[in-house]
Structure 1
Amino acid sequence: MVSRRRFLRAGAAGALAALAGCSAVPAPRPKLDLSVSNARDAAVDLDVRFFRPNVTERSEALAYRNSVEVPPDTGSDDPWTDEDIVSDRPYRIEVEDRSARSSRHYHYRPDCSDEDPYDIGVLVRFNPGGGVAFSQTTCSSDAPFL
């Protein structure tokens, strides 16, 4: 027959083991927004892809893909934005301007810890002279984009 003390010890050990796993459950990561600003005179026919790093198969690395035509900025318009597209993790972001047959890429690295409340995003800016600039949200500045 099992003594009362042995029974309580076994129950306490089981409860501790069950509760210990709860502290290892990760919190969901915040989602990343993508914004595109077009300072050129004509619309940009754009293809955007987000790839996970360190994945050997390109099809498995693809986390997000979208094709969109971004009209020129009129000065008062907000940039085109697609919200909450992927989790805040490292990505290689490829942007292809199909009308100009050119492409650029950017290596996104999260800047803030999971405990910091912030709105995260990447801004792609098509400059008037033909260049493309990337910027991202950082915790070191109050401004959403650099």
Structure 2
Amino acid sequence: MPSRRRFLRAGAAGALAGLAGCSAVPAPRPMLDLTVSNVRDTAVDLGVRFLRSDVTERSEALVYRKNVEVPPDAGSDDPWTVEDILSDRPYRIEVEDRSTRSSHHYHYQPDCSDDDPYDIGVLVRFNPEGGVAFSQTTCSSDAPFL
């Protein structure tokens, strides 16, 4: 029959083994910016959503949502930007021109390592002919140009 002392010793050993890998504090990931450039003649009634790519339920995957009217750039060097939306992780980014009910999406994958200092972001460009183009910050030389 096990003694109380043996039981406590076994429990303490199990607890120490379980906590052995938890002593390191994860470094915070850099934050992601979103910039929207509207080169159309009229404002875009924009709906934007960021969804986690590792979750199957859409209600659980949604991590950011915003509706805003983005005016035409009209030669401005100051496009609509939201800084530090979310940490730099894979996302499905959905944008919708709510006035025309046209939607587009982009699969964002981080391209830079955590130890490289960099400004990360995604640029969404509403083209004059009605299309939408996405691009993102890249660090590796073999990353495709988007």
TM-score by length of 2: 0.80
- Deviation by residue 1:63-97 (Cα, 9 ceiling, x = unmatched): 11000100001212411001101110000000010
- Deviation by residue 1:44-63 (Cα, 9 ceiling, x = unmatched): 00000000012121111001
Quote the Cα distance in structure 2 between the aligned partners of 1:96 and 1:35: 14
Q: Which residue of 2 aligns with 1:110?
A: 110
Runs of 4+ in 1 over 3 A off after TM superposition: 18-22
Counterpart amino acid of residue 58 in structure 1: R
Q: Secondary structure at the match of 2:72?
A: coil
Q: How does 1:57-76 map to 2 (within 5 A)?
A: 57-76=57-76
Quote the Cα distance in structure 2 between the aligned partners of 1:59 and 1:20: 32
Q: Which residue of 2 aligns with 1:82?
A: 82
Q: Which residue of 2 aligns with 1:124?
A: 124
Bigger drift between 120-129 and 50-59 goes to 50-59
Q: Secondary structure at the match of 2:133?
A: strand
Across the two proteins, how many residue pairs are aligned to each other? 126
Counterpart amino acid of residue 137 in structure 2: T
Quote the Cα distance in structure 1 between the aligned partners of 2:77 and 2:71: 10
Quote the Cα distance in structure 2 between the aligned partners of 1:115 and 1:52: 23
Deviation at 1:108, TM superposition (A): 0.1
Quote the Cα distance in structure 1 between the aligned partners of 2:129 and 2:82: 25
Q: Which residues of structure 2 form unaligned runs of 5+?
A: 1-18
TM-score by length of 1: 0.80
- Deviation by residue 1:17-63 (Cα, 9 ceiling, x = unmatched): x89754x3210001100000000000000000000012121111001
Q: Which residue of 1 aligns with 2:11?
A: none
Q: Which residue of 1 aligns with 2:98?
A: 98
Deviation at 1:140, TM superposition (A): 4.0
Quote the Cα distance in structure 2 between the aligned partners of 1:87 and 1:109: 12
Counterpart amino acid of residue 70 in structure 1: V
Deviation at 1:139, TM superposition (A): 1.4
Identity %: 81
